[in-house]
Amino acid sequence: MNIPVVTLSDFFGGPVKKTAFVQSLGNAFEETGFVAVRDHGIPDDLITDLYTYVQAFFVLPPDQKSRYEIPGLAGQRGYTSFGKEHAKGSTAPDLKEFFQFGQTVADDDPIASEYPENIFVNEITPFSPTFRAAYRAFEDSGRVLLKAIAVYLGLNEDYFEPYVHNGNSILRTIHYPPITREPSSAIRAEQHEDINLITLLVGASADGLQILNNQNEWVAVTSLPEQIVVNVGDMLQRLTNNKLKSTTHRVVNPPREKWGSARYSIPFFLHPKGTMSLTCLENCVDKTHLKAFPDITAGEYLDERLREIGLKK
């Protein structure tokens, strides 16, 4: 499936290009929940470095990786070992391990006290600085996309800014190891929807991503190397009362002849501050579209979902 493609730089290309970009992005998020983005502002060499150091980390011996798995953080910082996470509603663990890097508050915002420290990898000197640079690049691109979404929804362009400045976003690097025996019931990542506002995904090292279309069919998602894939998360779907779609997606196992190959993927989950209200926007509720969700904050919703997927007790 060739998902819709937009060019992020068009948002700054004058009124005509900006209007067309906003409309194309909004239409894609209403119809499929996914879009491919060109000129996304994340430097190619930074992405290359990120994948290099990520692969170097995951090939470390298990005892070395385990030093970076910190109890009590619900996987929100550092390493999470193989088989710990499962999709909501599934008991079979996903066939993956991952490492997460979070917000670094650079000003005097008191919210800094709410975030755990990032975990620094001693064995790979450039690992943590590269993560920090990539985090900022993803965050900057995501904030532009949210400006466009706000305009599409008839809100002030800066509606999301107070909530995503020093927000609770996560940069996750995922390793799906080679499959060495017949999986009992799981695929690499069972069908799920993302928790956050939007997810930005740079090209994975192998195929496997599929989305569930409006005809209830699983279709493979393809994007070109210079593009990132962006999708709506559950928080944005709740906020817009189902106007924008949090599309169900999964990562399937490769053909048996490719079981010996690993897969790497790097999504950026753009979260707001936990205090943001996800109460359905008034202009997304009417007699035809009744309010579909109870009021909840982003922090309360995140906590609920982390328990559902097995990362928090």
The pTM assigned to this predicted structure is: 0.91
DSSP assignment of 20-89: HHHHHHHHHHHHTSEEEEES-S--HHHHHHHHHHHHHHHTS-HHHHGGG--TTSTTSSEEE-TT----TT
Helix axis angle, 127-152 to 44-58, nearest 10°: 130
Residue 50 in tokens:
């990120």
More confident residue, 28 or 90: 28
pLDDT at 279 exceeding the cut of 90: yes
Distance from C-alpha of 30 to C-alpha of 25, rounded to nearest angstrom: 9
pLDDT for the residue numbered 258: 78
Residue ranges of E strands in the chain: 5-7, 34-38, 78-80, 97-102, 170-176, 189-192, 198-202, 209-212, 218-220, 228-232, 249-251, 263-270
**How long a stretch of residues is the chain?**
313
CA atoms within 13 A on the CB side of 273: 16
Closest CA to 230 of 263, 270, 191: 270
pLDDT for the residue numbered 204: 58
pLDDT for the residue numbered 184: 65
Q: Using CB atoms within 10 Å of the CB of residue 111, give its burial: 0 to 12 exposed, 13 to 18 middle, 19+ buried.
A: middle
pLDDT for the residue numbered 197: 97
- With respect to residue 313, please indicate whether it lies within any of the assigned structural domains: no
pLDDT for the residue numbered 87: 65
- With respect to residue 172, please indicate whether it lies within any of the assigned structural domains: yes
Q: What pLDDT, in 10s, does the model give residues 74-124?
A: 889 999 998 777 767 666 677 889 999 999 998 999 999 999 999 999 999
Distance from C-alpha of 187 to C-alpha of 208, rounded to nearest angstrom: 10
Distance from C-alpha of 40 to C-alpha of 140, rounded to nearest angstrom: 9
Give the count of domains, the chain: 1
Residue 304 in tokens:
């609920």
Q: Using CB atoms within 10 Å of the CB of residue 167, give its burial: 0 to 12 exposed, 13 to 18 middle, 19+ buried.
A: buried
Please give the average per-residue pLDDT across 188-212, as a whole number: 80
Residue 122 in tokens:
């001693």
188: domain CATH number?
2.60.120.330
With a pLDDT cut of 70, the percent of the chain lying above it is 93
Domain range for 230 is: 5-308
CA atoms within 13 A on the CB side of 15: 0
Identify the top-confidence range among 200-209, 226-235, 255-264. 226-235
- With respect to residue 118, please indicate whether it lies within any of the assigned structural domains: yes
